[in-house]
Amino acid sequence: MRAVIWTAYGPPEVLQVQRVERPSPGKNQVLIKIHATTVETGDCELRRYQIHNGLYSLFRPYFGLFKPRLLKVLGQQLSGEIESVGSAVTRFKPGDRVLAAVMTMGTTCEYLCLDEKDCIVPKPDALSYEEAAALSVGGLNALHFLNQGDIHPGDRVLIYGSSGTIGTFAVQLAKHFGAEVTAVCSAAKSELVRGLGADHLIDYQKEHIGDAPQPFDVIFDTIGKSPYQESLDVLNPGGIYLLANPTFHQQMRSYWTNITTNKRTTCQLARYDLDSLHYLTHLVVQGALKVVIDRCFRMDEIVAAHHYVEQGHKSGNVVVTIVEGETD
């Protein structure tokens, strides 16, 4: 099979499409023929070894100090079809169409083995393979953090980075929970974000969130770029500041905030669980949630896909379609 192999830290050009041995499923595993995956900002950070998220940076020795140590294939989510199953598998059968979130990464390839208990669910017919591949990581992160916010109808929620992978789902989910949503994005993304349900917009290139006329009950920073003190200043007493991709500086300040103020902050790694992914697919079937795709690349265009994501201006998700080679 073909896989995008990553053996050195550096620019996108370190990624190479190579032929490797196709895996075989163990007795509790399924072999998935991958139709599509995505390129996330986190994939780019790992590839160039410049990890923005302070929580992930603690695991740098695990990733490898001088070159990738364990991970040879990037990619965190997929859609595809069950090719074969192990002898003890009961949840899936060959031919099942699925989507999955993969904490251990490794989805930028033609075939992947996962344990049947991993975060794998049936693909809704309402989603194309490209859309299904882009649902799990952004959706699960958005749902995890907004659940920490304990949103009630009428709560005022600000979402920073509202046009990105997590942000596009966060806007929709917050509205689904009944919140009044203020989205922070550029003017170029305003039409997209309003279409997702945002009630108010703040153009970060011209305005400051501190100028908002009313304080917020929940502030959700999906990208780790919100001004920390300014965000606290517009947060209601008892409100919560959610940091999905905190810098190390934000992470340290959050501990002090929780000790010394009546406002809460949380810096966590989202938990990928089956119930949450089933819930997201249910919302898709209901028509309450949609997947935003900016651009699709082929597997042999993986270098261009990484360059595009690193520009930092994508809307929603960048998908990589996996097209199987002529021979295996």
pLDDT in tens, 277-296: 999 999 999 999 999 999 99
For position 72, what pLDDT does the model report?
Answer: 87
Cα–Cα distance between 124 and 288 in angstroms, integer? 14
Cα 276 to Cα 156: distance, rounded to the nearest angstrom: 23
Say what the pTM is.
0.93
Q: Work out the average pLDDT over 233-243.
A: 96
In the chain, CATH 3.40.50.720 covers 138-267
Which fold would CATH assign to domain 2-135+292-321?
Quinone Oxidoreductase; Chain A, domain 1 (3.90.180)
Looking at the chain, which residues constitute the CATH 3.90.180.10 domain(s)?
Answer: 2-135+292-321
Candidates 306, 255, 241, 252; CA nearest to 58 is 252
* Range 138-267 classified under CATH 3.40.50.720: yes
Note the pLDDT of residue 327: 36
Mean pLDDT of all residues belonging to the chain: 92
User: How does pLDDT run across 163-194, given as a tens digit for each residue?
Assistant: 999 999 999 999 999 999 999 999 999 999 99
Beta-bridge mates of residue 121 = 99
Q: Report the relative pairing of strands 15-19 and 2-6 from DSSP bridges.
A: antiparallel
Angle, in degrees to the nearest 10, between helices 136-149 and 165-176: 50
Contact 299, 321 (CB under 8 A): yes
Q: Of 110, 117, 40, 102, nearest to 80 (Cα)?
A: 110
Specify the long-range contacts of residues 68-73, CB closer than 8 Å, at least 24 apart.
68/6, 68/7, 68/8, 68/9, 71/6, 71/46, 71/104, 71/105, 71/106, 72/3, 72/5, 72/6, 72/7, 72/106, 73/3, 73/4, 73/5, 73/6, 73/105, 73/106, 73/107, 73/108, 73/109
Whole-angstrom distance, CA of residue 265 vs CA of residue 164: 21
Residue whose C-alpha is closest to residue 39's, from 297, 313, 270: 297
- In 135-189, where does DSSP find H-type helix? 136-149, 165-176
Helix axis angle, 274-286 to 136-149, nearest 10°: 100
* Neighbour-count burial for 113-138, b at 16+ CB within 10 Å, e otherwise: bbebebbbbebbeebbbbbbbbbbbb
- Residues 172 and 95: their CA atoms lie apart, in Å, by 32
- Confidence band (pLDDT; 50, 70, 90) for 325? very low
Cα 4–8–10 angle (5° rounding)? 95
Would you say residue 259 has pLDDT above 80?
A: yes
